[in-house]
Structure 1
Amino acid sequence: MSTSELPALPVTWVPRRNRVVLLTASGLLAATFLTMALVLPQSWQLNDRVMLACLGLALSSVGLMLARPKILADAEGVTVVNHLHTRRLHWAEIVRVNLRQGDPWATLDLADGTSLAAMGIQPSGGRAQAVQAARALRDLAELHGAPAEPDVTR
Protein backbone atom coordinates (compact mmCIF):
# COMPACT_ATOMS: atom_id res chain seq x y z
CA MET A 1 0.00 0.00 0.00
CA SER A 2 1.50 3.35 -0.98
CA THR A 3 1.57 6.30 1.39
CA SER A 4 -1.23 7.97 -0.60
CA GLU A 5 -3.46 4.90 -0.05
CA LEU A 6 -3.03 4.87 3.73
CA PRO A 7 -6.00 6.08 5.76
CA ALA A 8 -5.71 9.63 7.09
CA LEU A 9 -4.93 9.83 10.79
CA PRO A 10 -6.72 9.73 13.13
CA VAL A 11 -8.58 6.59 12.06
CA THR A 12 -10.85 4.24 14.02
CA TRP A 13 -11.64 0.60 13.25
CA VAL A 14 -14.72 -0.97 14.86
CA PRO A 15 -16.59 -4.21 14.12
CA ARG A 16 -19.73 -2.38 13.00
CA ARG A 17 -22.09 -5.35 12.52
CA ASN A 18 -21.28 -6.73 15.95
CA ARG A 19 -21.72 -3.31 17.50
CA VAL A 20 -25.12 -2.73 15.85
CA VAL A 21 -26.42 -6.15 16.89
CA LEU A 22 -25.10 -5.90 20.45
CA LEU A 23 -26.29 -2.34 21.06
CA THR A 24 -29.74 -3.15 19.65
CA ALA A 25 -30.03 -6.34 21.71
CA SER A 26 -28.84 -4.53 24.85
CA GLY A 27 -31.42 -1.80 24.41
CA LEU A 28 -34.19 -4.31 23.79
CA LEU A 29 -33.17 -6.37 26.84
CA ALA A 30 -33.17 -3.35 29.11
CA ALA A 31 -36.50 -2.10 27.75
CA THR A 32 -38.12 -5.54 28.03
CA PHE A 33 -37.05 -6.15 31.62
CA LEU A 34 -37.97 -2.61 32.70
CA THR A 35 -41.39 -2.95 31.05
CA MET A 36 -41.95 -6.31 32.70
CA ALA A 37 -41.03 -4.82 36.07
CA LEU A 38 -43.63 -2.08 35.58
CA VAL A 39 -46.53 -4.18 34.27
CA LEU A 40 -46.30 -7.17 36.60
CA PRO A 41 -49.41 -7.98 38.65
CA GLN A 42 -49.88 -6.33 42.05
CA SER A 43 -48.98 -9.62 43.75
CA TRP A 44 -45.31 -8.93 42.92
CA GLN A 45 -43.57 -6.92 45.62
CA LEU A 46 -41.43 -3.85 45.01
CA ASN A 47 -38.18 -5.71 45.70
CA ASP A 48 -39.12 -8.29 43.01
CA ARG A 49 -39.70 -5.52 40.50
CA VAL A 50 -36.44 -3.78 41.40
CA MET A 51 -34.50 -7.04 41.06
CA LEU A 52 -36.10 -7.74 37.67
CA ALA A 53 -35.14 -4.26 36.46
CA CYS A 54 -31.61 -4.72 37.81
CA LEU A 55 -31.32 -8.09 36.04
CA GLY A 56 -32.29 -6.45 32.75
CA LEU A 57 -29.74 -3.69 33.25
CA ALA A 58 -27.04 -6.21 34.18
CA LEU A 59 -27.72 -8.33 31.08
CA SER A 60 -27.72 -5.29 28.83
CA SER A 61 -24.46 -4.06 30.36
CA VAL A 62 -22.83 -7.33 29.25
CA GLY A 63 -23.91 -6.53 25.71
CA LEU A 64 -22.50 -3.02 26.04
CA MET A 65 -19.19 -4.45 27.26
CA LEU A 66 -19.05 -6.83 24.28
CA ALA A 67 -19.66 -3.88 21.93
CA ARG A 68 -16.63 -1.91 23.22
CA PRO A 69 -13.78 -3.20 21.00
CA LYS A 70 -12.20 -0.69 18.67
CA ILE A 71 -8.79 0.46 17.53
CA LEU A 72 -7.92 4.14 17.37
CA ALA A 73 -4.78 5.17 15.47
CA ASP A 74 -3.31 8.67 15.54
CA ALA A 75 0.06 10.28 14.87
CA GLU A 76 1.51 9.21 18.24
CA GLY A 77 0.33 5.60 18.29
CA VAL A 78 -2.55 3.20 18.69
CA THR A 79 -5.19 2.78 21.39
CA VAL A 80 -6.56 -0.77 21.55
CA VAL A 81 -9.91 -1.00 23.33
CA ASN A 82 -10.96 -4.59 24.09
CA HIS A 83 -13.85 -5.87 26.19
CA LEU A 84 -12.39 -5.02 29.58
CA HIS A 85 -9.02 -3.36 28.99
CA THR A 86 -7.71 -0.40 27.07
CA ARG A 87 -4.04 -0.15 26.14
CA ARG A 88 -2.16 2.72 24.55
CA LEU A 89 0.80 1.79 22.34
CA HIS A 90 3.41 3.92 20.63
CA TRP A 91 3.98 3.02 17.00
CA ALA A 92 7.49 1.72 17.78
CA GLU A 93 6.01 -0.91 20.14
CA ILE A 94 4.16 -2.67 17.29
CA VAL A 95 6.39 -5.21 15.55
CA ARG A 96 3.78 -7.02 13.47
CA VAL A 97 0.03 -7.05 12.78
CA ASN A 98 -1.42 -10.53 12.27
CA LEU A 99 -4.78 -11.67 10.92
CA ARG A 100 -4.48 -15.30 9.88
CA GLN A 101 -7.18 -17.44 8.31
CA GLY A 102 -9.53 -18.58 11.08
CA ASP A 103 -8.41 -15.97 13.65
CA PRO A 104 -11.34 -14.34 15.48
CA TRP A 105 -9.55 -10.97 15.46
CA ALA A 106 -6.24 -9.34 14.66
CA THR A 107 -3.29 -9.63 17.02
CA LEU A 108 -0.39 -7.28 17.50
CA ASP A 109 3.09 -8.66 18.16
CA LEU A 110 4.80 -6.19 20.45
CA ALA A 111 8.44 -5.23 20.91
CA ASP A 112 8.47 -6.67 24.45
CA GLY A 113 7.81 -10.16 23.04
CA THR A 114 4.11 -10.29 23.97
CA SER A 115 1.01 -10.28 21.80
CA LEU A 116 -2.09 -8.14 22.19
CA ALA A 117 -5.53 -9.02 20.86
CA ALA A 118 -6.86 -6.20 18.69
CA MET A 119 -10.55 -7.08 18.79
CA GLY A 120 -11.51 -3.97 16.84
CA ILE A 121 -10.54 -5.78 13.63
CA GLN A 122 -12.71 -8.90 13.27
CA PRO A 123 -13.54 -10.99 10.22
CA SER A 124 -17.05 -11.57 11.57
CA GLY A 125 -18.11 -8.29 9.98
CA GLY A 126 -16.66 -9.30 6.62
CA ARG A 127 -13.34 -11.00 5.90
CA ALA A 128 -12.32 -8.60 3.12
CA GLN A 129 -12.91 -5.54 5.32
CA ALA A 130 -10.94 -7.10 8.19
CA VAL A 131 -8.00 -7.95 5.93
CA GLN A 132 -8.03 -4.43 4.49
CA ALA A 133 -8.10 -2.90 8.00
CA ALA A 134 -5.29 -5.19 9.22
CA ARG A 135 -3.15 -4.29 6.20
CA ALA A 136 -3.79 -0.57 6.74
CA LEU A 137 -2.80 -0.88 10.41
CA ARG A 138 0.30 -2.86 9.44
CA ASP A 139 1.31 -0.25 6.86
CA LEU A 140 0.74 2.58 9.33
CA ALA A 141 2.85 0.75 11.93
CA GLU A 142 5.64 0.30 9.40
CA LEU A 143 5.45 3.94 8.34
CA HIS A 144 5.30 5.45 11.83
CA GLY A 145 7.31 2.82 13.70
CA ALA A 146 10.84 3.14 14.97
CA PRO A 147 13.45 3.68 12.27
CA ALA A 148 15.80 0.81 11.62
CA GLU A 149 18.65 0.77 14.08
CA PRO A 150 21.95 1.81 12.54
CA ASP A 151 24.62 -0.79 12.01
CA VAL A 152 27.31 -0.10 14.64
CA THR A 153 29.73 -2.83 13.67
CA ARG A 154 33.27 -1.58 13.17
Structure 2
Amino acid sequence: MTTSKSKPVFEYRPRRSRLGSWITAAVFFLTFAALSFSLSATTEGGGVMTPADHFAMWGLGVLGALAFLVFSRPRIRVFDHGIEVRNLGSAQVFPWEVVTGLSFPKGVPWATLELADDDEVSLMALQPTDKERALEATRTLRARIDAHRN
Protein backbone atom coordinates (compact mmCIF):
# COMPACT_ATOMS: atom_id res chain seq x y z
CA MET A 1 0.00 0.00 0.00
CA THR A 2 1.74 3.16 -1.14
CA THR A 3 0.84 6.62 0.04
CA SER A 4 3.08 8.60 -2.27
CA LYS A 5 0.55 8.81 -5.12
CA SER A 6 -2.61 9.51 -3.12
CA LYS A 7 -3.30 12.79 -1.42
CA PRO A 8 -3.81 12.74 2.36
CA VAL A 9 -7.23 13.68 3.71
CA PHE A 10 -5.63 15.00 6.90
CA GLU A 11 -2.03 15.64 7.93
CA TYR A 12 -0.64 16.62 11.30
CA ARG A 13 2.86 17.57 12.42
CA PRO A 14 3.70 18.93 15.86
CA ARG A 15 4.74 22.58 16.06
CA ARG A 16 6.49 22.96 19.39
CA SER A 17 8.73 19.92 19.18
CA ARG A 18 9.69 20.75 15.59
CA LEU A 19 10.49 24.32 16.56
CA GLY A 20 12.47 23.07 19.55
CA SER A 21 14.47 20.62 17.47
CA TRP A 22 15.31 23.27 14.85
CA ILE A 23 16.39 25.78 17.50
CA THR A 24 18.46 23.16 19.33
CA ALA A 25 20.10 22.05 16.08
CA ALA A 26 20.99 25.64 15.18
CA VAL A 27 22.41 26.36 18.64
CA PHE A 28 24.41 23.11 18.57
CA PHE A 29 25.87 23.89 15.14
CA LEU A 30 26.66 27.51 15.99
CA THR A 31 28.32 26.44 19.25
CA PHE A 32 30.66 24.08 17.43
CA ALA A 33 31.33 26.69 14.74
CA ALA A 34 32.22 29.25 17.44
CA LEU A 35 34.41 26.70 19.20
CA SER A 36 36.32 26.06 16.00
CA PHE A 37 37.17 29.76 15.76
CA SER A 38 38.01 30.11 19.45
CA LEU A 39 40.56 27.29 19.49
CA SER A 40 44.07 28.66 19.41
CA ALA A 41 46.68 27.57 16.91
CA THR A 42 48.78 25.80 19.58
CA THR A 43 47.74 24.00 22.72
CA GLU A 44 49.40 24.09 26.14
CA GLY A 45 50.89 20.66 25.50
CA GLY A 46 52.51 21.80 22.27
CA GLY A 47 49.90 20.40 19.90
CA VAL A 48 49.01 22.35 16.78
CA MET A 49 45.46 23.04 15.60
CA THR A 50 45.32 22.71 11.83
CA PRO A 51 42.59 23.86 9.44
CA ALA A 52 41.50 20.22 9.28
CA ASP A 53 40.79 20.32 13.03
CA HIS A 54 38.67 23.43 12.56
CA PHE A 55 36.73 21.79 9.72
CA ALA A 56 36.29 18.71 11.90
CA MET A 57 34.63 20.88 14.55
CA TRP A 58 32.26 22.21 11.88
CA GLY A 59 31.59 18.64 10.78
CA LEU A 60 30.78 17.57 14.34
CA GLY A 61 28.41 20.53 14.57
CA VAL A 62 26.65 19.43 11.39
CA LEU A 63 26.36 15.82 12.57
CA GLY A 64 25.02 16.87 15.96
CA ALA A 65 22.53 19.25 14.36
CA LEU A 66 21.30 16.48 12.06
CA ALA A 67 20.83 14.22 15.07
CA PHE A 68 18.62 16.85 16.71
CA LEU A 69 16.64 17.34 13.50
CA VAL A 70 15.51 13.70 13.64
CA PHE A 71 13.06 14.90 16.30
CA SER A 72 11.32 17.07 13.69
CA ARG A 73 10.26 13.98 11.67
CA PRO A 74 7.08 12.79 13.45
CA ARG A 75 3.97 13.08 11.27
CA ILE A 76 0.50 11.58 10.93
CA ARG A 77 -1.21 11.35 7.55
CA VAL A 78 -4.74 10.08 7.06
CA PHE A 79 -5.77 8.57 3.73
CA ASP A 80 -8.98 6.98 2.52
CA HIS A 81 -7.31 3.55 2.80
CA GLY A 82 -5.62 3.99 6.20
CA ILE A 83 -3.32 6.01 8.40
CA GLU A 84 0.40 6.61 8.00
CA VAL A 85 2.44 7.07 11.17
CA ARG A 86 5.98 8.39 10.99
CA ASN A 87 7.85 8.62 14.25
CA LEU A 88 11.63 9.03 14.42
CA GLY A 89 12.34 6.18 12.03
CA SER A 90 10.48 5.00 8.98
CA ALA A 91 6.79 5.44 8.28
CA GLN A 92 4.24 2.69 8.85
CA VAL A 93 0.87 2.47 7.11
CA PHE A 94 -2.07 0.85 8.90
CA PRO A 95 -5.26 0.05 6.98
CA TRP A 96 -8.49 1.12 8.67
CA GLU A 97 -9.42 -2.52 9.24
CA VAL A 98 -6.69 -2.92 11.89
CA VAL A 99 -7.17 0.44 13.65
CA THR A 100 -9.52 0.20 16.64
CA GLY A 101 -8.98 3.42 18.54
CA LEU A 102 -6.87 6.31 19.74
CA SER A 103 -5.92 6.92 23.35
CA PHE A 104 -4.41 10.09 24.77
CA PRO A 105 -4.46 9.83 28.58
CA LYS A 106 -3.31 12.72 30.72
CA GLY A 107 0.34 12.76 31.68
CA VAL A 108 1.66 10.82 28.69
CA PRO A 109 4.15 12.36 26.23
CA TRP A 110 2.14 11.41 23.10
CA ALA A 111 -0.98 9.65 21.89
CA THR A 112 -1.28 5.95 21.10
CA LEU A 113 -2.95 4.29 18.13
CA GLU A 114 -4.72 1.08 19.18
CA LEU A 115 -4.69 -1.81 16.73
CA ALA A 116 -6.93 -4.87 16.31
CA ASP A 117 -4.35 -7.40 17.54
CA ASP A 118 -4.10 -5.62 20.94
CA ASP A 119 -0.98 -3.89 19.71
CA GLU A 120 -0.30 -0.19 20.13
CA VAL A 121 1.71 2.29 18.11
CA SER A 122 2.99 5.55 19.56
CA LEU A 123 1.97 8.69 17.71
CA MET A 124 4.92 10.92 18.54
CA ALA A 125 3.48 13.68 16.37
CA LEU A 126 0.47 14.08 18.65
CA GLN A 127 1.86 15.71 21.80
CA PRO A 128 0.15 17.63 24.61
CA THR A 129 2.65 20.49 24.25
CA ASP A 130 0.70 21.62 21.17
CA LYS A 131 -2.34 22.05 23.42
CA GLU A 132 -5.49 23.09 21.53
CA ARG A 133 -4.03 22.16 18.17
CA ALA A 134 -3.26 18.61 19.39
CA LEU A 135 -6.72 18.35 20.92
CA GLU A 136 -8.36 19.27 17.61
CA ALA A 137 -6.17 16.75 15.76
CA THR A 138 -7.17 14.07 18.29
CA ARG A 139 -10.84 14.82 17.69
CA THR A 140 -10.34 14.67 13.92
CA LEU A 141 -8.47 11.35 14.11
CA ARG A 142 -11.08 9.82 16.41
CA ALA A 143 -13.85 10.92 14.05
CA ARG A 144 -12.04 9.31 11.10
CA ILE A 145 -11.46 6.10 13.06
CA ASP A 146 -15.12 5.96 14.09
CA ALA A 147 -16.26 6.62 10.52
CA HIS A 148 -14.23 3.70 9.20
CA ARG A 149 -15.27 1.36 12.01
CA ASN A 150 -18.96 1.75 11.25
Moved over 3 A (4+): 38-43
Equivalent residue, structure 1, for 2:141: 137
Asked if 1:14 corresponds to 2:10, the answer is: no
Give, in whole Å, the separation in 2 of the partners of 1:63 and 1:131: 26
Return the letter of the residue paired with 1:129.
R
Q: 44-53 vs 63-72, which deviates more?
A: 44-53
Asked if 1:79 corresponds to 2:84, the answer is: yes
What is the CA deviation profile of residues 66-124 of structure 1, one whole-angstrom value per residue up to 9, with x for unaligned ones? 11111111222111111123211112221010001111111011112210000111001
Give, in whole Å, the separation in 2 of the partners of 1:76 and 1:138: 15
Equivalent residue, structure 2, for 1:67: 72
Equivalent residue, structure 2, for 1:105: 110
What runs of 5+ residues in structure 2 fail to find an aligned partner? 1-7, 43-48
Q: What is the DSSP-based 3-state SS (H/G/I as helix, E as strand, rest coil) of the residue aligned with 1:30?
A: helix
Q: Return the offset for 1:39.
A: 6.1
What is the CA deviation profile of residues 33-79 of structure 1, one whole-angstrom value per residue up to 9, with x for unaligned ones? 23543564433123422331222112211210111111111222111
What runs of 5+ residues in structure 1 fail to find an aligned partner? 1-8, 148-154
Return the letter of the residue paired with 2:36.
A
Root-mean-square deviation (Å): 2.0
Return the letter of the residue paired with 2:19.
V
Equivalent residue, structure 1, for 2:22: 23
Q: Return the offset for 1:17.
A: 1.4
Aligned length: 137
Give, in whole Å, the separation in 1 of the partners of 2:82 and 2:56: 43
Give, in whole Å, the separation in 2 of the partners of 1:32 and 1:141: 45
Among all aligned residue pairs of Structure 1 and Structure 2, give the percentage whose two residues are the same amino acid.
Answer: 26
- What is the TM-score normalised by the length of structure 1? 0.78
Q: 68-77 vs 47-56, which deviates more?
A: 47-56
Give, in whole Å, the separation in 2 of the partners of 1:13 and 1:21: 17
Give, in whole Å, the separation in 2 of the partners of 1:118 and 1:110: 12
Q: What is the DSSP-based 3-state SS (H/G/I as helix, E as strand, rest coil) of the residue aligned with 2:53?
A: helix
Q: Return the offset for 1:131.
A: 2.5
Q: Return the offset for 1:24.
A: 2.3
